[in-house]
Structure 1
Amino acid sequence: MSQPHTAHLRGLHPAAPALLGYAAVRLLGMAILALVAVVQGKDGLHRLSGRWDSVWYVRIAENGYGYETTLPDGSVHSDLAFFPLLPALERGVSEVLPVSPATAGLVIGWVAAFAAAWGIYAVGTRVAGQRAGVLLAVLWGVYPTAFVQSMAYTETLFTALAAWSLYAVLTDRWIVAGALCAAAGLTRPSAAALVAALGITALVRVFRGGLTWRTAVGVVLAPLGWLGYVIFVAVRQGSPTAYFEVQAAWGNNIDGGVALARFVGGHLTGPNPLAGIGLIAALGLLFWVVWLCVKQRQPLPVLVYGIGIVVISLIGAAYFGSRPRLIMPAFPLLLPPAVALARLRRRTLVPVVGLLAVASGVYGAFTLLGSGPP
């Protein structure tokens, strides 16, 4: 892209380079998925909207809550494990447009992906400048599990709400931040990290004597979505701990990282210890990136949110393969590499980003076309 063309795009809208760059890498990922699907004789589009968690969301959109299934081991999986905002939007869109809830889920996911990329760009630009903001949005699009950003899942919707909530905090619009946080709390349980980010930031303001009534209102609004759904499940099931019991039945209970430690230890002592070493290296890389975020002195709400998502993703007993996806909304982790890449010249930067996009697309295609859930 020539410099005059780039200048023209920026004249249209400052976020244009970020959104176009994000679109380019995601389209490349989808092209790779389509190619691999054809080679394997599989339906790539169906994998985006008709498998795993997507099926549960569509069922809720069509019939409301109340479905559960009993597995051969006796454990019961209830649809109450899934938060209501995405299925509510799927139902609303399918009633307004001539599309099924499954197709509506894809449309919502794709629109939310661009809203998330825009919000990520806005936060990155606010923290580290426009070039870093553009690259932050693009790097989020080449995250290893970025293929989920093209699925009828909640990650893009949640990340969009979280990013714009954080941007509202950074620009001192606390009521907007709290309302967006409440909506995020109706989307995913990991909204607890966003609630903590707003709460801790406000608490620091109290000690510094800078708390305003708008800040207080924002903090009060922030947890209402998450708490509201937990209370809904408690009332529906007749138990104050019902939501956590539902999650435990799915194997998603909070165990402080015991399951993760056992998983890594099992590989270290198993027939393929190199896999265990690889897992330790991956965790080491993750902790190093978190340290870089601290060293970078990211704004307090951004830092708390990013670390909070990582902690929530690691201390649960969830299926290990889903953890990279659970960490994906923690876009502040990508700020250090975004700032580093921003220093590169275009002739070096483009091949690096292109290689990352191809690697992400190949990994996503083979993961999505595999047998297990992402």
Structure 2
Amino acid sequence: MPPTAATEALLVPEARGVHPAPGTATAGARTRVARSLRRAAPALFAYAAVRVFVLLVFGVWSHKEGHGIWPALAADWDSKWYLGIADHGYEHTLGTKRDANNLAFFPLHPYLVKAVAAVTPGSRATVGLILAALSSFPAAWGIFAVGDRLHGRRVGVLLTFLWACFPVGIVQWMGYTESLFTAFVAWSLYAVLTGRWVWAGALAALSGLTRPTGIALAAAVGLCALATLRRRFSWRVLTGALLAPLGWLGYVGWVGLRLGRWDGYFAVQRLWANELDGGIETLRRFRSLLAYDSTPELFLVIVTATLLASVVLFAFSLWDRQPLPLLIFTGVLLAIVLGSGGVYFSRARFLAPGFPLLLPLALVMARASRRFLLLGVTGAVLGAAYCGGYMILVWPSAP
């Protein structure tokens, strides 16, 4: 689809056949960023409004339950693992204890927390929470940019709104990696769509230092780059393809060297029961919850519904013929999440960066009547607030 006038303004001048003088390059870049930010402003406002509403509901709920807001968001569950890495570094041995080796957690977020906390006041837990919240806005901006480029501003705003309303979207403002990872994903995919291959590869490499599923983004960038190279050779495209997997491969290789065995990282994942089993464990949980459990736990129902809906949305994405980089990323992400034999209740969270799956819903909402749109928006916001609070305050083992 050819870019609109607004998205054309976001392209680098060289991509449009214009070669600015060196002295004007910086000013031109600032102008393009300012225009992009102004265009994204409604999406960013909608995103902030949803997240603030969810936070307010969570605050009232947690007060009634006698829980503190800050510890739950900044220093609990997986946040403790990242803070532990920032405080003490990584393990030197594999060990035998299950669910206990911190080498399963990728390094970019905890070391960013450590670096920022060293030069700012406040605890590392506070820094981790602020870093996640701040990262969510470039993520939302990148999601809007992708939706706007493909289908226009209205769809871009709705896509950002739907990502804010993701059932477990409360993790976007917790001391977790989802916001940072999604920012890398969104802008890397946008870079592929606009032909910025070096940026796409560099951001994919950073994603591979952030979460294990960074390999899905590396696959999207790498395979699309190879398809482009088959049509025409370009050093920029080749550089992007080579950069994309370096973060993920670098960390996996480093873990192997640290543990003194080539399969060190995969041995750690086995201790966390995160081996790929082709979806056997996922199907077993589906069968148990849907057919045999007469009183299934509500949060597990939410997780299961999210997983099933994601599969359906991926089918619609194929039907809509989404651009190849988006399909590869979401397809590989789904394959990893559904094909893992590991922990089940976290899997909805693992799909949070898969925002292209929400494009079919955004397109439906963009064409809907005002009444239907109002009902959909209200239901999505209320559902996000309830699911977020329930996940942290009621479900005993999440997030």
Deviation, structure 1 residue 41 = 1.2
The 8 Å contact of residues 69 and 76 in structure 1, kept in 2 or not, is answered as no
Aligned to 1:45: 70
Aligned to 1:14: 39
Aligned counterpart in structure 2 of residue 247 of structure 1, from 269, 279, 295 = 269
Aligned to 2:204: 181
Give the 3-state SS of the residue equivalent to 1:66 in structure 2: coil
Aligned to 1:6: none
Change (3 A) 1:156 1:238: same
Change (3 A) 1:56 1:18: same
Q: How does 1:1-374 map to 2 (within 5 A)?
A: 13-66=38-91, 74-75=97-98, 77-207=100-230, 209-267=231-289, 270-272=292-294, 283-346=307-370, 348-370=372-394, 371-374=396-399
Deviation, structure 1 residue 373 = 2.3
Structure 2 Cα separation of the partners of residues 19 and 164 of structure 1:
15
Deviation, structure 1 residue 284 = 4.4
The 8 Å contact of residues 67 and 78 in structure 1, kept in 2 or not, is answered as no
Give the 3-state SS of the residue equivalent to 2:100 in structure 1: strand
1:366 maps to a residue whose letter is Y
Aligned to 1:4: none
TM-score by length of structure 2 reads 0.85
Change (3 A) 1:279 1:15: closer
Give the 3-state SS of the residue equivalent to 1:349 in structure 2: helix
Give the 3-state SS of the residue equivalent to 1:83 in structure 2: coil
Q: What is the aligned length?
A: 363
Report which structure shows greater RCO (CA 8 Å, sep ≥6).
1
Deviation, structure 1 residue 278 = 9.1
Deviation, structure 1 residue 343 = 1.7
Change (3 A) 1:76 1:369: closer
Structure 1 stretch 302-311 or stretch 25-34: which is displaced more?
302-311
Structure 2 Cα separation of the partners of residues 280 and 357 of structure 1:
20
Change (3 A) 1:344 1:203: same
The 8 Å contact of residues 70 and 76 in structure 1, kept in 2 or not, is answered as no
Give the 3-state SS of the residue equivalent to 1:51 in structure 2: coil
Structure 1 stretch 280-289 or stretch 48-57: which is displaced more?
280-289
Structure 2 Cα separation of the partners of residues 10 and 30 of structure 1:
30
Structure 2 Cα separation of the partners of residues 42 and 197 of structure 1:
42
Change (3 A) 1:236 1:280: closer
Deviation, structure 1 residue 348 = 4.4
Post-superposition Cα deviations, 1:256-291, rounded to whole Å, max 9, x if no partner, equal: 112112222334563528789998766543322111
Change (3 A) 1:296 1:151: same
The 8 Å contact of residues 303 and 345 in structure 2, kept in 1 or not, is answered as no
Post-superposition Cα deviations, 1:195-223, rounded to whole Å, max 9, x if no partner, equal: 1101221222233x133110000000000
RMSD, aligned α-carbons:
2.4
Post-superposition Cα deviations, 1:55-99, rounded to whole Å, max 9, x if no partner, equal: 01011111211288989xx53621111100000110111011102
Aligned to 2:6: none
The 8 Å contact of residues 251 and 317 in structure 1, kept in 2 or not, is answered as yes
Change (3 A) 1:31 1:69: farther
Post-superposition Cα deviations, 1:126-147, rounded to whole Å, max 9, x if no partner, equal: 1111110011011000010001
Q: Percent identity?
A: 42
Structure 2 Cα separation of the partners of residues 359 and 229 of structure 1:
37
Give the 3-state SS of the residue equivalent to 2:211 in structure 1: coil
The 8 Å contact of residues 68 and 76 in structure 1, kept in 2 or not, is answered as no
Deviation, structure 1 residue 235 = 0.3
The 8 Å contact of residues 77 and 246 in structure 1, kept in 2 or not, is answered as no
Change (3 A) 1:76 1:166: closer
Change (3 A) 1:357 1:12: same
Structure 2 Cα separation of the partners of residues 202 and 69 of structure 1:
36
Structure 2 Cα separation of the partners of residues 212 and 69 of structure 1:
43
Structure 1 Cα separation of the partners of residues 293 and 391 of structure 2:
23
Structure 2 Cα separation of the partners of residues 182 and 50 of structure 1:
27
Change (3 A) 1:44 1:76: closer
